[in-house]
Structure 1
Amino acid sequence: MRIEFLGGVGTVTGSKYLLEHDGRRLLVDCGLFQGLKQLRLRNWEPLPIKASDIDAVLLTHAHIDHSGFVPRLVKLGFKGPVFCSGATRDLCELLLPDSGRLQEEEADFANRHGHSKHKPALPLYTQEEASAALKRFEAIPFDEEQSPWPGWSWRLKRAGHILGAASVHISWTGGSILFSGDLGRSDDLVMRPPESPEQADYVVVESTYGDRLHRDVDALMVLADVVNRTAARGGVVVIPSFAVGRAQTLLHCIHLLKQARRIPDMPVYLNSPMAADATRIFRHHLDEHRLSAEQCAAMSKHVTIVNTVEESKRLNTLTFPSIIVSASGMATGGRVLHHLKAYAPEARNTILFAGFQAAGTRGATLVGGSESVKIHGAYVPVRAEVANLDTFSAHADREQLLAWLGGLRAPKRVFVTHGEPVAADALRLAIEERHGWPVTVPEYLESRKL
């Protein structure tokens, strides 16, 4: 078996791991690079292998940094199946066409306003191409061994994090490897904790929060504080949010706070039709999270779902305390950019992030304290309060990652991936000190024989 790290190394985006054995090639995860321009350009670079030579793709979960390259791969000639959990398939049916639509809109905007160096600017793939790629998706159940080819087998186990998220255990004649995927938290407000790992010779583990611990604070109290002080100023709270997972957690928490009268009964707008659809999917997968069907319904009962562009534009003229939840979570694109242009210049408002912000994203720029942020080719002044509730992160922290790994007997080697360089190296050191196992932080395009 040979593994090649085609993404998700040196960064938290672009996850792609190519396994080759006995004439078969499997791509574990197929994500888009996001954030820094030099990373985003990799989405346009040719892969070190022909897409048509890849036999199958196996996804750990639906987030775009793990699934968003699938339509591009199909466009490049991939003709195999895309295996994933049922909920991952359901969510990808929302996320991938939306990703294509956003890329089309951004290319069109760039062409109309002339702020792209490319003439014309083109989308990586279109909404139609993303929808066509979904025909290759095949849902497989958790905890059942799949044997698609002689000498190969794999099994999915629940990883928490978001609906459908899985850790993947892959066996071949003579060995095995475990991919953590993105691991959720044992104390997540909505998702159930990750299941214990299955023993393997090699482990590939994420390190998004490998250098830090989640603060031991009451997430509801912190959210209430931000909302209350913004409302007291007569301002608007704009929350850039991932449409899948984070938006639902935020709506659930806002509902709880209103119900307990801990925040004013102010209007809440969900400006993400995809997030609204994802909320409905929560009701179809009750076994994967902590909420009842009634709680799933309640989280959006008094929320205004914004569907049309005209409705979205009207949100930019609010003159009373309100909460706007809109994608994307790192402010890399989508409708939230227009809300940032409208509300970031005013000191009475708050821009509230709710999780990890990758290097090079607008979210990271804002959380880092920048006095301006570039949106649609122009700089927007930032006078609004900027806050980041990392207590809402859906990623395991360093101790939770170490505890999950502690369920294993000593593997031959651990590969630490999906983290910024400092976080990945911090987790490497922690694993070596805690468990005494050999650990490697692989480089981009590094190849290893297992």
Structure 2
Amino acid sequence: MDAGRSDIVSLTFLGGADTVTGSKFVVETSQSRILVDCGLFQGYKKLRARNWHDLPIDPASIDTVVLTHAHLDHSGYLPLLVKSGFAGRVICTNGTRALCGLLLPDSGYLQEADARYANRRGFSKHRPALPLYTKADAHHALKSFSPTPFGERIEIAQGCSIRFRYAGHILGAATVDMVADGRRIVFSGDLGRYGDPLMFDPEPIPQADYLLVESTYGDRLHPDVAPQQVLEDVIERTVNRGGSVIIPSFAIGRAQALLYHISAIRRRGRFTDVPVYLDSPMAISATELFCEHTDDHRLSIAQCRDAWDDVIYTREVEDSKRLDTITSPKIIISASGMVTGGRILHRLKQYAPDHRSTIVMAGYQAGGTRGAALLRGEKMIKIHGDYVPVRAEVVELDMLSAHADQHELLRWLGSFVSQPKECFVVHGEAEASDNFRLKIAEELGWKARVPEHQERVELA
């Protein structure tokens, strides 16, 4: 801070700028330092390498962390932040706290497991390979969480207050309406879809001096087709040729939406003899949480139970391994959604070479991930140090995305009754963000720009 000016409020982009992942935004006032989101970088190796770099600010100097939602690109750096000296509160919604209770320990566990596997197989250039943080680190970080309800304005640090509103997207996801030393700063987090059968519509916000808006699908529109019909067609042709449908899925949100649509198809009498497996302990636990947090979504407890009543849960490792010995057609939903780790890697080693089977990509695939490689039509993908041939059909169902598309993002922006002084376009690949910046300027007449990584701006 400038010692000669006590009225400065600044915003620094430590992640989520010029890329989709690694969300970290620092708000500094004369009295406090707030970090909004604390995510991991994912995708390309050069981005993942940032997770190992020290932050340009001392974690111990941060007063409070505010989370928009639980996905790891928004929350996954927290265990390392706490391990590095952060001792303040983590403010989030109740749903986000519940999901982080699953996601963060699982992230630590997977990193430990991947490090052990790399050391055992010897395919890492590091000797020894180490995890970024451990499961124990994650559990320690969870002690800092302080959940708060939607709709209540609360003081989170001296001179700084926030209010959470529904963002849709996933359980507990929120926009952040912050007032910091008189400046009103709104963070969109990740916005969901309008008319989603599970999640609420993104809640309108009337006003902001400064706005950070995501642009994951800032240059795209989702197909105007019924997801159940497309999914039904995929299942039918796969089963007819004797194959299995393998769906890499985000354990939080996407897995529950897929189960909802598959259940609706089966209630019409279709594929009732084709077993459906949820092959992810975290997705299983998240599905159970969905029934416990009905205030955060559209479904009643009865509707939740109906949607996944006949699903076979493979929580234990041995049950998961047995899936590869079942030769008859089946539907397997397994994490992770971008095929970056977890059980889906073992499923793909078994089913990607099978020309009868189908791999269904049902969400956004960041550049540099195996999911993006599959969508590009790569015929070989690297898993656990080995190259696996891809002979299975690969299908993209981007209408199932939990992210608002360009029109929906503009619809949410249109709910503001006055123009922000400046709109920062974040959370997007370079082309998507720049395209959306132009759309905002053309259609709304707002001042909008794409910030650079580690850029610092003063808010007048």
- Whether the 8 Å CA contact 2:95–2:296 is kept in 1: the answer is no
1:10 corresponds to? 18
CA distance, structure 1, for counterparts of residue 272 and residue 357 of structure 2: 16
Superposed displacement of residue 5, structure 1: 0.3
2:430 corresponds to? 421
TM-score, normalised by the number of residues in structure 2: 0.97
2:240 corresponds to? 232
Task: For 1:38-437, list aligned pairs within 5 A.
Answer: 38-408=46-416, 409-437=418-446
From the superposition, tell whether residues 66 and 102 of structure 1 become closer, same or farther in structure 2 (CA, over 3 Å): same
- Whether the 8 Å CA contact 2:63–2:157 is kept in 1: the answer is no
CA distance, structure 2, for counterparts of residue 263 and residue 198 of structure 1: 47
CA distance, structure 2, for counterparts of residue 264 and residue 321 of structure 1: 12
Superposed displacement of residue 172, structure 1: 2.1
CA distance, structure 1, for counterparts of residue 181 and residue 146 of structure 2: 24
2:454 corresponds to? 445
Superposed displacement of residue 290, structure 1: 1.8
- Whether the 8 Å CA contact 1:169–1:198 is kept in 2: the answer is no
- Whether the 8 Å CA contact 1:327–1:336 is kept in 2: the answer is yes
RMSD: 0.9
CA distance, structure 2, for counterparts of residue 172 and residue 352 of structure 1: 44
CA distance, structure 1, for counterparts of residue 158 and residue 297 of structure 2: 35
1:437 aligned partner, one-letter code: W
Q: Alignment identity in percent?
A: 57
Structure 2 unmatched ranges of 5 or more: 1-8
2:358 aligned partner, one-letter code: T
1:410 aligned partner, one-letter code: Q
- Whether the 8 Å CA contact 1:219–1:392 is kept in 2: the answer is yes
Residue 147 of structure 1: SS of its match in structure 2?
strand
How many residue pairs get aligned? The number is 450
Superposed displacement of residue 265, structure 1: 2.6
1:443 aligned partner, one-letter code: E
CA distance, structure 1, for counterparts of residue 294 and residue 316 of structure 2: 30
Single out whichever of 252-261 and 285-294 deviates more from structure 2.
285-294
- Whether the 8 Å CA contact 1:341–1:375 is kept in 2: the answer is yes
Superposed displacement of residue 356, structure 1: 0.8
2:4 corresponds to? none
- Whether the 8 Å CA contact 2:33–2:63 is kept in 1: the answer is yes
1:391 aligned partner, one-letter code: M
Superposed displacement of residue 264, structure 1: 4.5
From the superposition, tell whether residues 307 and 149 of structure 1 become closer, same or farther in structure 2 (CA, over 3 Å): closer
CA distance, structure 2, for counterparts of residue 293 and residue 23 of structure 1: 44
- Whether the 8 Å CA contact 1:258–1:265 is kept in 2: the answer is no
Residue 133 of structure 2: SS of its match in structure 1?
coil
CA distance, structure 2, for counterparts of residue 395 and residue 198 of structure 1: 21
TM-score, normalised by the number of residues in structure 1: 0.99
Superposed displacement of residue 295, structure 1: 1.6
Structure 1 unmatched ranges of 5 or more: none
Superposed displacement of residue 192, structure 1: 1.1
Superposed displacement of residue 128, structure 1: 1.0
Residue 157 of structure 2: SS of its match in structure 1?
coil
CA distance, structure 1, for counterparts of residue 206 and residue 101 of structure 2: 29
Please give the per-residue CA displacement for 1:146-195, whole angstroms capped at 9, x wherever unaligned: 11333211111110000100000111233111000100011212111011
